């Protein structure tokens, strides 16, 4: 949780008062995704005014409502090849996705190593 520590340090560059509990300014971190299955650990070097929570797309879309959701979907569609472009380490077929070496590769869950499973790849269209 280095980001919370850095936020606290920035806030305390010019503290108005000292508090053993850190600043009174709330700091918030959202854990996005869950590719790393290990426990989330942090050492408390960022005071007591903080929040750590998860972030999931569908509860967020429900919260903002249909009109804002529609606006965001339009933005994603318009920026699909730029801002929201995906890059893959490999594109594999369904049958390749069952091969042990491929399973070992895509199960690493490594940054920059996404695999695209294309059900049409390798399918004969006679």
pLDDT for 126 equals 67
pTM of the model: 0.53
Mean pLDDT along residues 31-52: 80
pLDDT (tens digit per residue) in 47-84:
888 888 888 889 999 999 999 999 999 999 999 999 99
Q: Which CATH superfamily is domain 2-78 in?
A: NAD(P)-binding Rossmann-like Domain (3.40.50.720)
pLDDT for 117 equals 94
Contacts of residue 93, defined as CB under 8 A and 6 or more positions apart, other chains included, come to 117, 118, 119, 121, 122, 123
Domain ranges of the chain: 2-78, 86-126
Q: How many CB atoms lie within 10 A of CB 117?
A: 15
Task: Please report which confidence band the pLDDT of residue 1 belongs to, taking 50, 70 and 90 as the band edges.
Answer: low
């Amino acid at each position: 949780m280095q980001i919370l520590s850095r936020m606290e340090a920035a806030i305390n560059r010019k503290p108005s008062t000292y508090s053993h509990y850190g600043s009174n300014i709330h700091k918030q971190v959202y854990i996005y995704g869950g590719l790393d299955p290990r426990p989330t650990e942090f050492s408390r070097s960022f005071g007591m005014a903080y929040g750590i929570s998860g972030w999931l797309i569908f509860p967020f879309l429900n919260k903002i409502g249909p009109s804002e959701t529609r606006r965001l979907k339009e933005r994603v569609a318009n920026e699909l090849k730029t801002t929201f472009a995906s890059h893959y380490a490999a594109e594999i077929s369904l049958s390749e996705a069952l091969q042990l070496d491929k399973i070992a590769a895509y199960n690493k869950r490594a940054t920059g190593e996404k695999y695209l499973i294309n059900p049409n790849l390798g399918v004969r269209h006679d």
